[in-house]
């Protein structure tokens, strides 16, 4: 009996063993040492270029420094030998456009004290006493001048027209014309002024002297140019301020 059971049992064990053996045996994992890597070929050192300096921008050409803002006393002579005086208010730029102011028959250059510092636009307060209380002597009467805008200003008194409250002593338009001409000539000689950007403004007798002085100055500068060449247009020494 033992034999009867033993043979089938052995057969089953052999079948089970055969099933296990029938699988592809898994090879034992043997760690293959990595192939020795050869050291990388030594690369020649990179050629280092000398550092290139960033070129600095070329300096922007600039004009001479601006003159101090304080008014300068100016004296000049007319063609008939009369000495006149005035004040020059330098602008914040150099060279700069210039405005020549000519007063009315009932005043003198003090009419322009407040207007001068207003157009100069350099934060300067009028350093002179105003002879009256009219609106043109009230600094709050003028609107602000745009920032960055500054004009040179030249004021003077016609002969025999001072002090302000007295007005001009005589009616002498023929010599006032000489005064206006001399003032326009002096304007071109003032330091820090662009002689191609000079204008004249005035009231009363000054309203006559301003265009007459400009016309005289223009014709005076044009004459030599016309004598040199008639094929080339001459440039006036007085032009509108842009």
Q: Is residue 188 part of a domain?
A: yes
Smallest Cα–Cα separation from 143: which of 110, 119, 127? 119
pLDDT at 167: 84
Tell me the C-alpha to C-alpha distance, in Å, between residue 79 and each of 12, 92, 169, 181, 224: 148, 32, 21, 9, 19
Structurally, the chain folds into a number of domains equal to: 1
pLDDT band at 163 (very low <50, low <70, confident <90, very high): confident
Q: Is residue 206 part of a domain?
A: yes
- 96: CATH: 3.40.50.1820
Boundaries of domain holding 165: 72-228
Render pLDDT for 27-63 as a digit per residue (tens, 0 to 9): 444 455 555 556 555 655 555 555 544 443 343 346 7
pLDDT band at 162 (very low <50, low <70, confident <90, very high): confident
Q: Is residue 233 part of a domain?
A: no
pLDDT at 39: 57
pLDDT above 70: percentage of residues in the chain: 65
Separation of first and last alpha carbons in the chain: 136
Q: Is 26 exposed, middle or buried (0-12, 13-18, 19+ CB in 10 A)?
A: exposed
Q: Is residue 220 part of a domain?
A: yes
Q: Is residue 135 part of a domain?
A: yes
72 is written with which tokens?
Answer: 């300068």
List the beta bridge partners of residue 102: 202
Q: Is residue 12 part of a domain?
A: no
Q: Is residue 65 part of a domain?
A: no
Q: Is residue 42 part of a domain?
A: no
> How far is 195 from 220, CA to CA, in rounded Å?
14
Render pLDDT for 54-113 as a digit per residue (tens, 0 to 9): 443 343 346 799 999 999 999 999 999 999 999 999 999 999 999 999 999 999 999 999
């Amino acid at each position: 009996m033992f034999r009867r059971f033993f043979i089938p049992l052995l057969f089953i064990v052999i079948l089970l063993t055969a099933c296990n053996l029938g699988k592809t045996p898994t090879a034992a994992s043997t760690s293959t040492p990595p192939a020795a890597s050869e050291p990388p070929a030594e690369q020649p050192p990179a050629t280092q270029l000398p550092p290139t300096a960033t070129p600095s921008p070329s300096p922007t050409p600039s004009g001479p420094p601006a003159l101090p803002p304080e008014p300068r006393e100016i004296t000049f002579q007319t063609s008939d030998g009369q000495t006149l005086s005035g004040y020059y208010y330098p602008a914040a730029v150099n060279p700069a456009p210039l405005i020549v102011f000519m007063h009315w028959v009932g005043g003198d250059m003090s009419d322009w004290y407040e207007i001068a510092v207003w157009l100069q636009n350099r934060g300067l307060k009028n350093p002179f006493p105003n002879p009256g209380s009219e609106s043109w002597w009230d600094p709050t009467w003028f609107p602000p001048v745009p920032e960055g805008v500054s004009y040179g200003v030249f004021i003077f008194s016609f002969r025999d027209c001072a002090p302000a409250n007295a007005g001009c002593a005589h009616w002498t338009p023929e010599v006032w014309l000489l005064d206006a001409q001399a003032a326009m000539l002096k304007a071109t000689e003032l330091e820090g002024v662009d002689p191609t950007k000079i204008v004249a403004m005035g009231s009363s007798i000054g309203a006559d002297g301003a265009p007459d002085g400009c016309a005289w100055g223009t014709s005076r500068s044009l004459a030599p140019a016309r004598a040199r060449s008639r094929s080339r247009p001459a440039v006036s020494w007085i032009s509108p301020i842009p």
